[in-house]
Amino acid sequence: MARVTVEDCVDKVDNRFELVLLASHRARMISQGQPITVDRDNDKNPVVALREVADEKLSPEDLREQLIHSLQKNVEVDEPEARPEEAPAVTASEESAAETRADAPAAADESEDEPVAFDRMSEEELLAGIEGLVPPEKNDDF
């Protein structure tokens, strides 16, 4: 049987790059054991996949959906929300920790009144510091 070319499939899938994505996805599906819809004729999986697209045995839209689904990693799971009456009880140690956190912003407000000082460095000092950094020597003992 004649070899299938990209030109045979371009009228089914408009974009050559999308055709490559869809055919490679279908070839992976075939290698995982899914049945083929055309005669193999001693062809490899990518050629079989392209022949399936060219013979319109598979819909490009279906292949596109399967490809998108195979690439999705985030699976949304609907979890029931906790009811207010089922909220966990607060222990005494958690209450004291909450009180400590409540006092912390007041302490932070007092320190905000002081000006923040930044160190200034000249370009020469910066270059001297960078030149002082020496990469560790390679040791053949390891």
Give the model's pLDDT for residue 112: 64
> What torsion, rounded to 10 degrees, do the Cα atoms 97, 99, 100, 101 define?
90
Within a domain: 111? no
Tell me what percent of the chain is helix, strand and coil, each rounded to the nearest 5: 55, 0, 45
Which sign, positive or negative, has the C-alpha torsion 116, 117, 119, 120?
positive
Cα–Cα distance measured from residue 58 to residue 51, given in angstroms and rounded to the nearest whole number:
10
Distance, CA of 90 to chain centre:
38
Average pLDDT of span 28-48: 90
Within a domain: 50? yes
Q: How confident is the model at residue 40 (pLDDT cuts 50, 70, 90)?
A: confident
Within a domain: 105? no
Domain with 37, as residue range(s), is: 6-71
Within a domain: 117? no
pLDDT digits (tens, 9 = 90+) for 78-106: 777 766 665 555 555 555 555 555 555 55
pTM of the complete model: 0.49
CATH number, domain containing residue 12: 3.90.940.10
